[in-house]
Amino acid sequence: MGKEQSIIQVIQTLDPILNAHLDSLDMGDSPWKEPATFRNIETGETYLHLAGGIGWPCKDVPGFIIVVAVTKMPGEEGNDAPLFICLDELESDRIEGLLEGCLRLRDRYGFRQSDTLFRTWYADPDRFATPVNQFNLKLLKEVKKIHGIYPTAPHDFQQPNYFELYKRRIQSLLTQTESVGKSLILGKCSGLRNYLQSLPPDAEDCPAIIALGGIVYSLMVQTPWTIRTQVTQMSISDIDAFEKDIRMETEWWRDPYFSRL
């Protein structure tokens, strides 16, 4: 299975090892690593986070997957409101076709460059669970140590009116006011744009709406780009110094002076 060339470059503003070494001098708490940012080497855009969503096929409508990036709204300094940018989309009426698409899109948008991207996909985890598991097992046999496609339920997915919640969130992000611009950019995702424009007011299901809505609704609540993680790694020099201190503390009795006591 060929790998898609990534267009994402990870930017880590702080060196976690250096940060860990400096903070360890005062014997305080473990230092923290700031969240990474991600640069699109094709467009030059910088993102705070990227995520993917899956809308499974329903009735005569094919399944839909989409990748969304998060950046900051342009404008005043200190404005931390997120701006969502739709980067890529794919449709298929086959479950295997959707999952293969997830593999290609995640490689293109930074999966192999970061341990925080595309570990899961926002989607109904129970629907089509059997073919998803079969796909992951097949993938594991063909390519050892590869991470499968693992759906995770979007926020409030268990609510009976989840589709309406997701649809309203999309509509609110697309609404532009005098003080606030649009918070959702559809970009080159023409298929998504067509679904949004042709969606009946009384619609109760649409894979594209579920895929996109599940992402933006969940990310507005979870804001993973704000989470800082503790650094637990030690550099080789730190380990050597630590072991030297231990030897000095535990082998003092080998000194000839103490051996005469």
Q: How many CB atoms lie within 10 A of CB 153?
A: 16
| DSSP state letters, the chain | -PPPPP-EEEE-SS-HHHHHHHHHTTT-SPPEEPPPEEEETTT--EESEEEEEEE--BTTB-EEEEEEEEEEPSSSTT---EEEEEEEEEEESSHHHHHHHHHHHHHHTTGGG-SSSSSSEES-SSTTHHHHHHHHHHHHHHSTT-----EEPPTTTTSTTHHHHHHHHHHHHH---SSS--SEE-TT-HHHHHHHHH--TT----HHHHHHHHHHHHHHHH-GGG--EE-----HHHHHHHHHHHHHHH-GGGSHHHHT-
Instruction: Report all structural domains of the chain as residue ranges with CATH numbers, in order of start.
Output: 8-232 (3.30.420)
Q: How many CB atoms lie within 10 A of CB 134?
A: 13
pLDDT of residue 8: 96
pLDDT of residue 226: 86
Residues pairing with 67 in the sheet: 52, 88
Check pLDDT > 50 for residue 233.
Answer: no
Check pLDDT > 50 for residue 40.
Answer: yes
Check the CA dihedral 197-200-203-206 and report its sign: negative
pLDDT of residue 181: 76
Least confident segment among 22-31, 71-80, 175-184? 22-31
CA 244 to chain CA mean position, Å: 40
Q: Which of 49, 94, 30 is nearest to 231 (CA)?
A: 30
Per the model's pLDDT, the better-predicted residue between 42 and 74 turns out to be: 42
pLDDT of residue 37: 92
Question: Residues 21-46: what's their mean pLDDT?
Answer: 74
Share the mean pLDDT of the chain.
83
pLDDT of residue 230: 55
pLDDT tens, position by position, 132-145: 999 999 998 887 76
Check pLDDT > 60 for residue 146.
Answer: yes
pLDDT tens, position by position, 235-259: 444 434 444 443 444 444 444 544 4
Check pLDDT > 50 for residue 150.
Answer: yes
| DSSP state letters, 18-34 | HHHHHHHTTT-SPPEEP
Per the model's pLDDT, the better-predicted residue between 12 and 94 turns out to be: 94
The torsion angles phi and psi of 55, rounded to 5 degrees, stand at -110, 115
Check pLDDT > 80 for residue 68.
Answer: yes
Question: Residues 189-210: what's their mean pLDDT?
Answer: 95
Decide: 221 and 157 in contact? Cβ < 8 Å: no
pLDDT of residue 134: 96
pLDDT of residue 81: 81
pLDDT tens, position by position, 96-139: 999 999 999 999 999 988 888 999 999 999 999 999 999 999 99
Least confident segment among 24-28, 43-47, 60-64, 87-91? 24-28
pLDDT tens, position by position, 179-193: 667 899 999 999 999
pLDDT of residue 223: 93
Decide: 7 and 40 in contact? Cβ < 8 Å: yes
Q: Which of 192, 201, 213, 227 is nearest to 116 (CA)?
A: 227
Phi-psi region of 27 (alpha: psi -120 to 50; beta: other; left: phi over 0): left
